[in-house]
Amino acid sequence: MKLHIVKYPNEVLTTKCNTITKNSKELQKLISDMFDTLLSTTGIGLAAPQVGFDIRLFITYYGNYVKTRKVYINPVITKYDGGIDYMQEGCLSLPGKVYNNVSRYNHIIIEYLNENFEEKVKEYSGYHARLVQHEYDHMKGITLANKLKIKE
């Protein structure tokens, strides 16, 4: 089921998200609904706050030829390095308003639970590292509007 995407400056977008403590049918339904929602857009990532939930969850669906579907529950970026790059970013919660250069680390290591609540550790570089950092910012209540200092 497609969910409504919350638009900036909705308060949930600037709220620090809560840890998910257990797997449940409701969580699995939310993940499924988030993928339905993401796939109905031009986006490649979606965080739970963007659909009105203040929980530590985001998803990505990304790839040039073969799309990779990833679920990140309670993510923690444990290492940032590889220098900083600037690249244009947009956000589904700021439709049509903003595409601007944003600084991000070129390499990260992230720990998270997947949709089966299995512990994972991944290293990402380049564009995928940027994507994960963008969605991870949503867990901390940081939006693209904050990075670009956009006012209501």
119 inside domain: yes
117 inside domain: yes
6 inside domain: no
5 inside domain: no
Which residues, 6 or more positions from 136, have their beta carbon under 8 angstroms from its beta carbon?
A: 58, 72, 75, 77, 110
Q: Domain range spanning residue 24? A: 11-148
Task: Show the beta-strand stretches assigned E in the chain.
Answer: 45-47, 57-62, 68-89, 100-113, 119-125
pLDDT given at position 54: 98
The type of residue at 34 is M
Residue 27: in which H helix or E strand, if any? helix 25-39
Across-strand partners of 86? 103
1 inside domain: no
pLDDT given at position 66: 79
Q: How many domains does the chain have?
A: 1
Residues noted as catalytic = 135
CB atoms within 10 A of CB 13: 24
4 inside domain: no
75 inside domain: yes
pLDDT given at position 65: 78
C-alpha 94: how far from chain center: 14
Per-residue pLDDT of the chain (152 residues; tens, 9 = 90+): 999 999 999 999 999 999 999 999 999 999 999 999 999 999 999 999 999 999 999 999 988 777 899 999 999 999 999 999 999 999 999 877 567 789 999 999 999 999 999 999 999 999 999 999 999 999 999 998 777 665 55
75, 127, 74: which is closest to 105 by C-alpha?
127
Q: How far apart are CA 121 and CA 98, in angstroms?
A: 32
109 inside domain: yes
pLDDT given at position 64: 77
Q: What is the CATH number of the domain that holds 54?
A: 3.90.45.10
